Structure 1
Amino acid sequence: MNTKAPSHRDQVNALFVLHSPRIRGFILSLIPNMSRADDVMQETFLTVSAKADDYEEGTNFVAWACTIARFKVLEECNRNQKASLMLSPDVIDAVCVAHAPLSAEDDEARLKALKDCMDSLAPHTRRAVELRYTRAHSAAEIASLLGWSTDSVYVVLSRARQALQKCINAHLNAVS
């Protein structure tokens, strides 16, 4: 039995998974193209993971991650200035000023709920989630490692995120 406490990076990654629907919603509010929003979401996760040591425990994680996401959205805008359906950087800044993420709730309870919910996933699903969010593998890499199609990886990860969110909410509602 592994009783080693999770590292700060692991905790930050777990917070990202926990709050990914809110972060993704924020990104989608700025980039209404699902494919490009997914790319920005992945870039945001990689940056959050790389900057995990910069996150101060006890502060508003969603606000911190959405700030990183905002800069990733602006980078995407600069790369695709002529693309349609992109907001201008000024509009993005205005939306970000108006958007105030809700304050973080009891992160310790959420992390415990996430761990319990991860343990309840089917082994193949848990493996795909760990490869994506702990090891930062791309969908194509996961597909290659697991012998799946890339589309299957996207479907499994999407369903896993939904199941985790539902499970975490149920755990938190049972506690309150």
Structure 2
Amino acid sequence: MDPARHPGENDVSEDFVRELTDHQTAMLAFIRALMPGSSAARDLLQEVNIILWQKRATFEAGTSFKAWSFQVIRYHLMNHRRRLASKGWLVFDDELVERISPVLEADPEELETRHQALHHCLAKLRPKDRELLQHRYASGAPLEEYAKLIQRSPGTLKATLFNLRGALRKCIERRFQDQGTSPT
């Protein structure tokens, strides 16, 4: 017997590795949702995997691995966002992340259903509205820059974005109602 290994540790490690690998997709989706637009999601997942492995002794078998790992992810990403903010990057604040985290912890199948509903609802928008949403949430460029480009005021665009988010929310809710499911 390996003197550095405790009796039964191999079984625990195998169970832990199984849980860790089973949850990789959900963990990556959670990281991407908390760090939208970040190209570092896979790198952050690897950092989290190392932390989870180092903390494996604190995981209680029989409890929710997903809940435990997502909590570790939250703390790691809070520290990561603080490092980015100290370098002048614009990042979500911790309060916002805590508010949206429960939604993001949904099962991967539920997330896929939500994604499909969003895709369906986005397709129903006018091209110029989709372009505005794309610019606002995917480009990383300031809204003021886009406002100048299309010769509209930033305030008008902010109001339009508010209305578009409301319309998307209602469309998604209707889609779930039509399917007999709940969006929450």
TM-score norm. by structure 1 comes to: 0.49
TM-score norm. by structure 2 comes to: 0.47
Q: Which has the higher contact order (CA 8 A, sep 6+)?
A: 1
